């Protein structure tokens, strides 16, 4: 019929000849411009990691644990003591794919657990788990081919052989291979910090591992476990906890103990931010009511938490400890599964709370006293990014970035979430003072999330430069990228590294 009679088909044919599809997760993954590639390769890629908030075990670091197979390090499950520990991100996906719970969190056959996860991963297009898992396979196991049901057994065998035989694939080896300079674990006030002491005395461990103070159990006066926890706190401090003042004294003693062990950060997982100041006599009444096993009302919980949080913040400011606040997570929503498996097993969700003004009042009260500590504020609700960025601007001081909007956290640490968080911070605050990424993970392989973040950071900065929105000045770009990847956090947490 002649080419002129069907120009659409000719042009479509030419497009197919000239179009070059990008390779899956190659060396320029997520880097869509020459400037982005240059910034990543030159300034971001090889900077050390500061993982200032995670949930890995200091005991496993000290003992230099080796994992038996890839399912054990990736998925975890039911532990010998009956508790559950593992990657609840992966568990949620497997449940969504209809995988039976005995395979999701406690497979007798680890290969069955791994293979069913692999089948699930093939369906997870658009989910960051595809990127995280394949980045880990690339970095730690040298596997460039995407994980699929077809190569599942080969990947299983190669990973297991390396975990078993490669000296660099023990816990300490993985941390060194990841170029980690500092790890901030998450620790309860009653913890003995035994393994932090052992790590600090071990000259063969070149990276810093320090405890972070997580007093949630002391704040959660409304929970059934509160009274028993007060017993544990009393035992750890040898203080009779008969009043609010006694509890405050005990927490102060534990903060001092943590500080001696290198503590640089604290963390508080709140349902929502509170500010309901009351006289101490009222918190004493609420405290005695809780110890008697009586039901605690919402307003009473808020009053107790406000009193303790104000005190804790003053102690953090005095001791140079950063105060992290995480909020807008609704936890343990499936009562049946919570009863079976406990917390942190994948039954949490994003909630929405109108509490930013209460957080502002809380911070203002501390500022008036002269006791506002350095703070990192996280909301699981992505619509809070702009609110936090503008709130932070109300309380900055001579410390660069004293009040930080935390990186995209948990359900937000996706490509879209990280980009939205950084663009919000840049638009409404000062991106160049940002302390950057954390893993918030229970897995020793999750350090690739820092690489994921760094690629997205460089891509955003590269976009602004190539669009003529920021000068193509090498010294400025170096300062920004290296600062966000490492130097800002090293300064902010007062790390001599």
For the cut 80, the answer to whether the pLDDT of residue 377 exceeds it is yes
pLDDT at residue 244 in the model = 98
Please report the pLDDT score of residue 1 as a whole number. Answer: 44
Does residue 8 surpass a pLDDT of 60? Answer: no
With a cut of 60, say whether residue 294 has pLDDT above it: yes
Yes or no: say if 349 and 330 are a contact pair by the CB < 8 Å rule.
Answer: yes
- 188 to 143, 194, 217, 312: CA distances (angstroms): 38, 13, 8, 14
Q: What is the DSSP secondary structure assignment for residue 412, as one 8-state letter? A: G
Q: How confident is the model at residue 10 (pLDDT cuts 50, 70, 90)?
A: low
Residues in the chain: 497
Q: Which band of pLDDT confidence, cut at 50, 70 and 90, is reported for residue 136?
A: very high
Q: Give the CA-trace dihedral at 12, 16, 22, 24, to 10 degrees.
A: 100
Mean pLDDT across the stretch 385-410?
A: 96
Which pLDDT belongs to residue 77? 86
Mean pLDDT of 334-340: 95
- Report the share of the chain in percent with pLDDT over 70: 96
Give yes or no for residue 368 having a pLDDT over 60: yes
Residue 495 main-chain phi, psi, to 5 deg: -100, 130
Q: Where are the alpha helices (DSSP H) in 261-383?
A: 280-291, 298-319, 335-341, 356-369
Does the global pTM surpass 0.75? yes
The predicted model gives 214-219 an average pLDDT of: 98
Alpha-carbon distances, residue 326 vs 269, 330, 381 (angstroms): 5, 11, 10
pLDDT value at position 449?
96
Q: How far apart are CA 35 and CA 463, in angstroms?
A: 8
| 252-264 confidence digits (pLDDT tens) | 999 999 999 999 9
Residue 7 has pLDDT above 70, yes or no: no
Mean pLDDT score, 50-77: 96
DSSP, res 187: B
| Confidence category of residue 17, pLDDT binned at 50, 70, 90 | low
Residue 9, pLDDT above cutoff 80? no
């Amino acid at each position: 019929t002649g080419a002129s009679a069907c120009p659409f088909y000719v042009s479509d044919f030419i497009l197919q000849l000239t179009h070059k599809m990008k390779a899956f997760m190659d060396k320029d993954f997520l880097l869509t411009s020459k400037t982005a590639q240059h910034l990543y390769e030159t300034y971001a890629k090889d900077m050390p990691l500061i993982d200032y908030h995670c949930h890995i075990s200091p005991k496993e670091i000290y003992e230099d644990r080796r994992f038996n197979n890839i399912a054990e390090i990736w998925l975890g499950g039911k532990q010998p003591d009956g508790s559950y520990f593992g990657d609840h991100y992966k568990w949620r996906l497997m449940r969504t794919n209809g995988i039976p719970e005995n395979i999701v969190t406690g497979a007798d056959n680890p290969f069955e657990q791994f293979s069913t996860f692999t089948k699930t991963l093939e369906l997870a297009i658009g989910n960051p788990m595809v990127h995280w898992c394949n980045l880990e396979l690339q970095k730690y196991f040298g596997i460039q081919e995407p994980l699929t049901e077809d190569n599942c057994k080969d990947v299983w065998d190669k990973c297991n052989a390396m975990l078993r035989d490669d000296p660099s694939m023990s816990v300490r080896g993985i941390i060194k291979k990841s170029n980690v300079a500092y790890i901030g674990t998450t620790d309860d006030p009653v913890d003995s910090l035994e393994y932090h002491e052992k790590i600090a005395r071990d000259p063969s461990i070149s990276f810093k591992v320090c405890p972070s103070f997580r007093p949630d159990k002391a704040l959660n006066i409304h929970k059934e476990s509160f009274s028993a926890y007060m017993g544990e706190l009393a035992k750890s401090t040898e203080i009779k906890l008969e009043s609010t003042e006694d509890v405050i004294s005990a927490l102060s003693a534990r903060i001092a103990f943590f500080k001696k062990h290198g503590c640089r950060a604290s963390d508080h997982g709140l349902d929502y931010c509170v500010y309901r100041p009351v006289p101490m006599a009222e918190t004493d009444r609420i405290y005695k009511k809780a110890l008697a096993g009586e039901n605690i009302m919402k307003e009473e919980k808020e009053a107790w938490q406000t009193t303790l949080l104000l005190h804790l913040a003053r102690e953090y400011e005095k001791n140079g400890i950063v105060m992290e606040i995480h909020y807008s997570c609704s936890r343990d929503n499936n009562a049946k599964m919570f009863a079976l498996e406990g917390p942190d097993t994948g039954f949490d969700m994003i909630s929405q709370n109108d509490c930013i003004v209460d957080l502002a009042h809380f911070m203002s009260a501390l500022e008036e006293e002269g006791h506002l500590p350095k703070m990192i504020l996280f909301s699981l609700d992505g619509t809070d990014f702009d609110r936090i960025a503008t709130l932070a601007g109300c309380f900055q001081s001579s410390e660069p970035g004293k009040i930080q909007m935390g990186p995209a956290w948990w359900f937000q640490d996706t490509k879209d979430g990280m980009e939205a968080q950084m663009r919000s911070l840049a638009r409404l605050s000062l991106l160049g003072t940002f302390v950057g990424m954390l893993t918030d993970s229970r897995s020793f392989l999750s350090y690739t999330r820092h690489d994921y973040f760094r690629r997205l950071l460089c891509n955003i900065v590269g976009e602004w430069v190539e669009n003529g929105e920021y000068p193509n000045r090498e010294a400025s770009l170096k300062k920004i990228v290296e600062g966000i990847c490492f130097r800002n956090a090293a300064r902010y947490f007062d790390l001599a590294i």
